[in-house]
Chain A
Amino acid sequence: MRRRRLVRAGHARTAGDRVSTAGLAVVMLVGLMLIAIVERTLLAGGIPPAVRLPALTPPDALPARAAPAVPPTSPPAVVELEPQVRRLTAAERTGAARAAYGVEPGAQPLAAATRFTQDRTWAFGTSVIPVPDRVPAMPQVALFLAHWDGSRWRMALSGDVGFRMLLRVVPTTLLAAEEIRALARFSVGPTGAPHLMLPWRVGDSWTMTALPQGNRPLASLTFDGGDGRVLAAADGWLYRFCAVPTGAALVMIVHQNGLATVYNRLTGLNGQSDGTAVRQGDPVGRIGAEHPCGGAVPDRPGLQFGLRQGTGDVAFNSMVLGGWIFRENKSPFVGWAERGFSEVTTGGVLPNFGPVDPQILSVPRPVPTPS
């Protein structure tokens, strides 16, 4: 009897030890998470302004918000804003740009504050790291949101945690509630894919030219042909980058589910301001031979087209555009668009079927029959 009790005592000791170990493991895990979060917060420029609002309520469920009533202790230093954004972009995004461009990005980032609240304590805008000469890559772009807390600008780039934090408290006088929602999804990562069409008139056929970069065969995808008019691939909010006086620019349209389409080398922009809501098929601009955000000089006018979210480019693989499924294969290293049993590679011609599901039209491949 006593013997059995003694033996069991050993068991309970080890079971208790195991429970303690589990508790200790939780503590250590949480501690490691905390130091990482503290580091990130410091890298992103410190603690964002303390604004007491219910956290994490979907933006559209909130009444229209006003800018904080507390008057700032000193007027916003608007002149400092864009340099600060440039520095933040350089600090946070140079690594990603290096990876995307394949070389060290040479030039300083460009930043443009495009929208302010009336009291100038809130600002929104765009920033981009220019592509080095002779590199055909897609420019690395970001949106920024900044708030003057009375003494300094608190800011974050799309894709950062801080961006979502600021989106939660940004006044609706700066960004519309729907736009806030789309930007939040853009920053975190899209939910599902929208029905995209190819960015030209439905029914027209354009030539596809693909250049590989890194591990992506379709890293730089260029289209040209037809009437040269570029149309929005889906509904969304339009943002301009690297706008130059000649009217050339890069345009990004953030769609409602958070995925963005990027249109580079555009000319003849309609003059839409940042944040203009566009519908699918709305004209965005015309194809051009300029390269406003840097990079290789194109040999002929065309549209450099890409997909984007939060901090980086989105691969075309499995994406459906204009009734085509795009594929980016690593081995063999080749990219193409397929529809049913027709496949189009670089140099081929793609007809735009519009925002349709390719499965509906797909027919089984013909099975070779013995003759």
Chain B
Amino acid sequence: MNPRPMDEPVTPKWLLPVLANVAIAVLAGTATPPGAAAVAAAQSFLLLYAGVFALVGMSLTMIVGLVATDRSLLGIRHRVLAQAVHRASSMAAMAFLVAHLVVKILAGHARAADAVVFRPTALGLGALAFDLLLMVMITGLLRAWFAAGTRPGLWRTLHVISYFAWPVAIVHGLTAGRQAAGWVTWGYVLSLVTVGLALLTRVLLVVRPVDPVREALEPDSPRRETSVRPTAVRR
């Protein structure tokens, strides 16, 4: 059968000590010449690609998140999976975004203030996108709190910020730094348009009036908050 205790935590207990040991090993290894060479390679890699990965991850997060919310595209099973992908890719995207900022600041390409203060430049757009995404991430983490609170609707209003932050991030990615290849630009434009269209469809679907068929079937469907009894009484 299934011997796994069900109240086992999501992150196993051994993870933190192991992670601490690995971190110490990395700190020690970095001081050796081969370690220094490896870090140099990692640094050049992150300088070049952390931003790109963050942007790609963000795009994936946007698309998968949109798909997971809507019931017309996927079955339940895949929507649940899509939610997991949405969370995982957003986590990875945020990690790469933070790496992007840290590495750029450490390399002297930007000052710490540039990461958060908006100015009407390519760099400033990135800062704006970062600020907005930070807020979106916080709302994402607090989703269960909103669901339990008095105004669950507020969550959606706040999380919708991502639809503004993402295009800003894309514009930053295309204008700042090295010249993007043509297909990259087109790829981003295509995903922008796709998400835009999907969003439009969704808004149209959600805003339309309540399903008249369902209304006719259940004229007195319960519209109050209650703890449901196991015997839903039907007459």
Contact = CB atoms under 8 A, between A and B. Distances in A.
The answer to whether any beta carbons of A and B sit under 8 Å apart in the complex is yes
Contact of B107 (A23, A28, A165): A165
A40 interface: yes
A22 interface: yes
B165 interface: no
Interface in A1-50: 8, 12, 15-17, 19-20, 22-24, 26-28, 30-41, 43, 47-50
Interface stretch (A54-62, A201-209, A316-324): A54-62
A35 B27 contact: yes
**Category for how many chain B residues contact A:** 35 or more
Nearest to A13: B80
A28 B23 CA distance: 10
A40 B43 CA distance: 10
Contact of A12 (B29, B37, B81, B98): B81
Contacts of A161: 39-40, 43-44, 107
Contacts of B177: 54-55
A33 B77 contact: no
Q: Which A-B residue pairs are the 9 nearest by beta carbons?
A: A23-B88, A16-B84, A48-B108, A26-B92, A19-B84, A30-B95, A27-B95, A23-B91, A161-B40
A22 B90 CA distance: 12
Pick the most buried of B10, B40, B110: most chain A CB atoms within 10 A of its CB. Answer: B40
Interface in B123-158: none
Contacts of A54: 177-178
Majority secondary structure of chain B interface residues (helix, strand, loop or mixed): helix
Contact of B30 (A20, A23, A28, A40): A40
Contacts, number: 131
A14 to B, nearest CB: 10
A337 B85 CA distance: 58
Interface string B162-201: 0000000000000001100000000000000000000000
Contacts of B46: 30, 33, 37
Contacts of A17: 10, 84
8 contacts: A23-B87, A23-B91, A36-B30, A37-B39, A37-B46, A40-B36, A43-B30, A51-B108
